[in-house]
Amino acid sequence: MTGFFDLAQIDAVAWLRAMPRSSVDLVVTDPAYESLEKHRAVGTTTRLKKSKASSNNWFSIFPNARFRELFAEIYRVLKKDTHFYLFCDPETMFVAKPIAEEIGFKFWKPLIWDKRRIGMGYHYRARYECILFFENDSDCMHQCGSERRVQMHLWFIEHTAHPIPTRYWAGTINRVGPAKEFRPNAYYGPNYPRLRQVKGEWDPHDIFHHAQSITSGGRG
């Protein structure tokens, strides 16, 4: 059947960014999650590299640090009141769930896929996999954050994704420290003045904050 599906070999986030807003009915994804790295040297978790059990080049690891931008794009392209399923292991579940909820998804429950038959491998290898069940719920959007908040997330990801060096100290936005001294230049560099303007527009009362967060006034 011509046109029944399109197959693309491209970065998932880049692919989603090319899609129109609210144009997708369902997202099901099984990323090569980061926690599999610890088992690559033993057992049969070999699909991520060449080995005696697998001679093919398969997938690169999708790092946990990219979940925020992935979930934000999935939220953007999904239609309201539609579903998103994420295959992962229990370790990744504890990382992915709060990020997806922060973006605006409603988490329903983890589904357990019992594979029943599975080969030998590393110690206590699980024969099951978790499937996190989320909904792009219009009611949850009003309770958890608006669509404008998702746009803000995407803008922040674009402008603060890389460490900005300073003369003595630098850091990344996903590794903020509780230092007493506020170091905006280390985290945000030359983007900081513009980011303060955005902060003032979207969160003038500083509801979302941490030790090194952007403020519209006061510190720095």
Show the tokens assigned to 93. 């579940």
Nearest to 9 by CA among 62, 67, 77, 59: 59
Task: State the Cα–Cα distance between residues 203 and 118, nearest whole angstrom.
Answer: 50
Task: Name the DSSP letter for residue 81.
Answer: E
- What's the CATH fold of domain 12-144? Rossmann fold (3.40.50)
What 3-state class would DSSP assign to 129? strand
Q: Where are the domains of the chain?
A: 12-144, 162-202
- pLDDT tens track, the chain, 220 positions: 456 778 888 899 999 999 999 999 999 999 988 887 776 655 455 555 555 555 555 567 889 999 999 999 999 999 988 999 999 999 999 999 999 999 999 999 999 998 877 766 666 778 889 999 999 875 554 444 555 555 655 565 555 544 444 443 445 555 555 555 566 766 677 888 888 888 888 888 887 777 677 877 644 4
Phi, psi of 23 (to 5 degrees): -120, 0
- Phi, psi for 133 (deg, rounded to 5): -105, 110
Rounded to an integer, what distance in angstroms lies between the CA atom of residue 103 and that of residue 34? 21
Bridge partners (DSSP) of residue 10 are none
Separation between Cα atoms, residue 199 and residue 204, nearest integer Å: 6
Q: What is the dihedral of CA 160, 164, 170, 171, to 10 degrees?
A: 20
pTM, full prediction: 0.58
